[in-house]
Amino acid sequence: MSPTLIVLAVLTLYLAGSLWVGWRSWRQGAATLDDYFVASRRISPLVLFCTLAATNFSAFFFLGFAGASYRLGWPFYGLMAFGTSLVGLSILLLGVPIYKLGKAKGYLTPPELITGESGSQMLGWLYGAVLVIFTLPYLAVQPYGAGLVLESLTDGGIDGFHGAVLLTGVMLIYIWLGGMRSSVWTDLLQGGLMLGLMLTAVLVVMQGLGGFGAAGGDLAAAHPQKFMREGAVTWQVWLSYTLLWPMVVPMFPQLFSRFYIAESDKALRTAAWLYPTIVPLLFLAPVLLGVSGNLDFPELAKAESDSIVPILLLEHAPLWLAALVMTGALAAFMSTADSQLLAMSSILTRDIAASITELKEDEQYSLGRWLVVALAIVGLALAYDPPDTIFNVVSQAFTGLAVLFPTTVALLWWRHTRSEACIASILTGETLVAWTYLAAQGGGIPEWFTQGFHPSMPIIFLSAVILIVGSLLLGKDSET
């Protein structure tokens, strides 16, 4: 059997499995707006945890983590792990309030909650605009990246764009049919595959390298700096990432929307402590692979190092196994992209269309489904030849979305929050995001601004200060 045929057989099985799960979920659901966007708020604790994790961990977790660890060494684990575990705290402190408010008032999208709780349509629109601006480019980048994975897997047998069309097409079918319900249940399949195949990759590669101890010993002798934080990362950058993840992850609209789908607040409580239980072990796998890649391939350039997982697999595993494991990367892509597609569709339907014109629920349901199709087509069109602007926006997405964190926390937790101060906070934050981006392109972001921290830290801090000072100056607002 030729290599391309093996890959195609594995791929066909995976895609057929995704379609079957998506179809089964649709059959169990109802053709209502509530079911389409929030799965009738009936997702149980364990399933909720799985869908939160699968949605959060994109193809970057599967490929980019290992690539970054190849270059930076073990310190990359430190930049990602504890902060991601702290997302559990965010699930609890933001997720539970969002769930309760969503259930009590029927919110389906993040901006709806912001508008409803602040009483300001303007703030809701601004919040929604930021979500769309920083999430839409991701929708284009994801199929582009997945297409490239498929192209490399089939050795050019399927070119990148046709690969993107194939994967997006399958995703579109199950999201069109079952919306959130299909997204959640396919997440279970995709997340399980991602986890199982990543662990398989670790076992196969480490065995090929002579075992954990032998590979570690060789690596420590040849590349001791890969084990050390000193010289690789500063404590300021380390702390920045530790704080950034719990602030930005719940601001991803695809994650925020999932707080609405829980069957009870117990589901979110369970997901909250499961997150730091699983993440520490899960993150070891790609980091270990990436760091170990330095043994066999010590001189890879940056772009090549992002493919260190497939490179290692092709070195240490039979082709069929390498193809099977790389299906995990495609699963990781689909589990994130389908959720983003649905979240964008819900925002455009509920917060834009339904707020400017009268739409009955069944009309919104229909519009939401067509918007999923339209967004997927836009994503594919951009994936055909992505303009540089898209990658530029994506590079700023984490900080851009984290600017919404102070507003979200304040509206849920602080009685004196004023919507005008929230608007000023977001506008100032996004202006600073644009300024730091332009400064980085020029002479670099001034040291007096960052003080050695990641630029997101002073930006979020200033956004929070403006919100607090503004709210206090404007005085108590009993309506918010």
Partner 1 sequence: MTGTERELRPFRLPSLRWTGIFVLLTLLSLDIWAWDSKAVIGGWLPVWVFHLLVLQFVLAFALWRFTQEWKP
User: What number of other Cβ atoms are within 10 A of residue 211's Cβ?
Assistant: 11
Closest approach of partner 1 to the CB of residue 79, in Å:
11
Which residue's CB is nearer to partner 1, number 160 or number 286? 286
What are the structure tokens assigned to 102, written together?
A: 């969503």
Q: Minimum distance from CB of 480 to partner 1 (Å)?
A: 9
- Shortest separation between residue 24's beta carbon and partner 1, angstroms: 32
28 vs 277, which CB is nearer to partner 1? 277
Give min distance, CB of 13 to partner 1, in A. 34
Nearer to partner 1, 74 or 256 (CB): 74
* Residue numbers at the binding site for partner 1 (CB under 8 A): 74, 77-78, 81-82, 85-86, 88-89, 92-93, 96-97, 100-101, 104-105, 117, 212-217, 219-220, 224, 227-230, 235, 238-239, 242-243, 265, 269-270, 272-277, 279-281, 284, 288, 411-415
- Nearest CB to partner 1, comparing residues 57 and 74: 74
Query: Closer CB to partner 1, residue 106 or residue 156?
Result: 106
Shortest distance, position 215 Cβ to partner 1, whole Å: 7
Smallest gap from Cβ 218 to partner 1, in A, equals 10
- Looking at beta carbons only, is 22 or 216 nearer to partner 1? 216
Indicate the residue among 26 and 259 with the shorter CB distance to partner 1: 259
| 459 close to 403: Cβ distance less than 8 angstroms | yes
Least spacing, CB of residue 268 vs partner 1, in Å: 9
- Please tell me the distance from the alpha carbon of residue 432 to that of residue 96, in angstroms, as a whole number: 31
Q: What's the one-letter identity of residue 311?
A: I
Nearer to partner 1, 82 or 256 (CB): 82
90 vs 142 by CB, closer to partner 1: 90
Residue with tokens 């530790």: 242
Q: How far is the CB of 164 from partner 1 (least distance, A)?
A: 36
Count of alpha carbons within 13 angstroms of residue 198, beta-carbon side: 29
Both tokens of 434, joined, read: 């644009």
d(CA 140, CA 268): 30
Q: How far apart are the first and last CA of the chain?
A: 66
Cβ of residue 444: shortest distance to partner 1, in angstroms? 25
- Closest to partner 1 by CB, 208 vs 386, is 208
Minimum CB–partner distance for residue 347 and partner 1 (Å): 22
Q: How far is the CB of 231 from partner 1 (least distance, A)?
A: 9
Between residues 165 and 308, which has the closer beta carbon with respect to partner 1? Answer: 308
